[in-house]
Structure 1
Amino acid sequence: MAELDGVRALVTGGASGIGLAIATAFRDEGARVAVLDVADAGPADVVYVRADLTDDDAVRAAVASVASRLGGLDVLVNNAGTGAQGSVEQSTDAEWHRVLDVNVVGTARVSRAAWPHLRESARAAIVNTASIASTAGLPQRAVYSASKGAVSALTRAMAADGMPDGIRVNAVNPGTADTPWVGRLLEGAPDPAAERAALEARQPHGRLVSAEEIARAVVYLASPRSGSTTGVELAVDGGMQGLRLRPRT
């Protein structure tokens, strides 16, 4: 049997990047997958619903539609998010409101709408996408780091609240990943090749993390095989969070 055979799953931000890799991995592991995104269209062979995470009515309607079309809901992956660059001195109130509304409150909105459906599942799980930015201080990422730190704290609180309802809640903490979003950041750098090399070098294994590697971690956390795992953050960062290696010679 596939690892997620028969699981009914909703992945937010699943139209591209890490979310697309997660949706694809879930489908390949036998899950029935729905994707929620703001893009005009989603990946093939999945249920697609379009909604803005900052609009609670739209989120509630989208989640209800997914649950109806899939016949229930077993797994929610809160992957959708947005980024920002700059120090705390440079960040505007508008950036703070925009990023926190999507990354933190958006995660809460979808989880709130999905919770009654997950409560009815015998294998309910939520996986939130946090970040290495929630555990390591990165330059020029004040707003983004704060938002992902909040997602990490929210994950633990949701795991505590989910225990009586049989809902496991965990997070995955990706390092810098080879995604379209990172690609756009590199394109805007004065020297894209040098910037990419610097990003690769700060991860101990010497390269960017692949979206597929992150997706495999999410599959594990969503699977019944991790039935005793809740309230944890699984780092997929090439050792960046915990390792302190000597410089290579």
Structure 2
Amino acid sequence: MSEKVMIVSGGASGLGLAAAIKFAQQGYDIVLVDIDKQKGEKAAEQIQKMGRQALFCECNIADGLRIREVAQQTKEQFGRADALINNAGLELRGSILQCTEEEWERTYAINLKGIYHMANAFVPMMIEQGKGAVINTGSILGFRTVPERAAYSSSKGAIDTLTRSMALDLAPHHIRVNCVAPGAIDTPLLRGSINDSPDPAATEKILGSKSVFNRMGTAEEVANVMYFLASDEASFVTGATYFVDGGWSIL
């Protein structure tokens, strides 16, 4: 059985893969949960080449039954769950008038209800162990506003409140729950949003200007904070949201 296991949703690319690599470097075995089978299997191979065990599970985190199957598979193969990174997310453009009901429900099913499903499946293992850490991925757009992100921004804002509620409820079990709120991070998700904009070059320039460093951040910079929050170095940190935004939140 493994000594330390990290589970990450959206682990096939972007922030999730960066987190998986960071945790693997620190001796964790990794469970990658993602809907992209090709990228997920490639990511698992990358982790295995680092000398760690890696399990890829093709899964839509809006499917609670499938997530419970993944949790059972994790328990059978690794025997434990030490860190849970609720990272998978969906960003769709649209104001409250432009966003369709289907788009709204899909966004919330992934960004918010997905955390519910993942926590319900994996936190019981942490309770059995008497210890664990959960990190939810929010967004600066849960706290700052840009045009045409009604569903995305509101769902990410709710993660901050959910994090604090989870932290309070799970404290008696010695499980800490925190949130990272990335700013403009150069990931495939943000690249897709940039490319979908009317003027991608101008959009990228604007995003860089949202940081006091005049650049976008990297996935590795977010992963470093995720690892800190999961580690014993953050043993007295719970219910907090850490902005990894290059200073966007102070502008």
Shift of 1:6: 3.7
Matched, 1:207 2:204: no
Note the residue ranges of structure 2 that are not aligned, 5 or more in a row.
49-53
In structure 2, what is the Cα distance between the partners aligned to 1:208 and 1:59?
Answer: 33
In structure 1, what is the Cα distance between the partners aligned to 2:144 and 2:122?
Answer: 30
In structure 1, what is the Cα distance between the partners aligned to 2:189 and 2:129?
Answer: 34
In structure 1, what is the Cα distance between the partners aligned to 2:105 and 2:62?
Answer: 11
Q: Are 1:14 and 1:37, in contact at CA under 8 Å, matched by a contact in 2?
A: yes
| Further displaced range: 231-240 or 190-199 | 190-199
Other-structure match for 1:50? 58
Matched, 1:227 2:235: yes
1:20 maps to which of 17, 29, 35? 17
Other-structure match for 1:238? 246
Matched, 1:102 2:110: yes
1:73 maps to which of 81, 91, 96? 81
Q: Are 2:131 and 2:173, in contact at CA under 8 Å, matched by a contact in 1?
A: no
SS class of match (1:164): helix
- Report the RMSD for the aligned CA atoms in angstroms: 1.3
2:32 maps to which of 27, 32, 35? 35
Other-structure match for 2:172? 164
Other-structure match for 1:59? 67
SS class of match (1:163): helix
1:184 maps to which of 184, 189, 192? 192
SS class of match (2:84): strand
Alignment-mate amino acid for residue 35 of structure 2: V
Q: Can you list the C-alpha shifts for 1:62-105, whole angstroms capped at 9, x where unaligned?
A: 11111221111111100011111111121111111000011111
In structure 2, what is the Cα distance between the partners aligned to 1:210 and 1:6?
Answer: 29
TM-score for both structures, normalised by structure 1:
0.92
Alignment-mate amino acid for residue 198 of structure 2: P
Matched, 1:197 2:213: no
| Further displaced range: 115-124 or 149-158 | 115-124
In structure 2, what is the Cα distance between the partners aligned to 1:76 and 1:160?
Answer: 17
Q: Are 2:93 and 2:148, in contact at CA under 8 Å, matched by a contact in 1?
A: yes
| Further displaced range: 178-187 or 226-235 | 178-187
Note the residue ranges of structure 1 that are not aligned, 5 or more in a row.
245-249
Shift of 1:122: 4.3
| Further displaced range: 9-18 or 114-123 | 114-123
Other-structure match for 1:247? none
Q: Aligned pair count?
A: 239
Shift of 1:59: 0.8
Identity value in percent = 36
Q: Can you list the C-alpha shifts for 1:21-52, whole angstroms capped at 9, x where unaligned?
A: 00011101111111111111421222111111
Higher helix share: 2
Q: Are 1:170 and 1:233, in contact at CA under 8 Å, matched by a contact in 2?
A: yes
Q: Are 1:126 and 1:170, in contact at CA under 8 Å, matched by a contact in 2?
A: yes
Q: Are 2:4 and 2:80, in contact at CA under 8 Å, matched by a contact in 1?
A: no
Alignment-mate amino acid for residue 26 of structure 1: F
Q: Are 2:90 and 2:111, in contact at CA under 8 Å, matched by a contact in 1?
A: yes
Q: How does 1:87-98 map to 2 (within 5 A)?
A: 87-98=95-106
1:147 maps to which of 155, 162, 166? 155
Q: Are 1:49 and 1:66, in contact at CA under 8 Å, matched by a contact in 2?
A: no
TM-score for both structures, normalised by structure 2:
0.92
In structure 1, what is the Cα distance between the partners aligned to 2:196 and 2:135?
Answer: 31
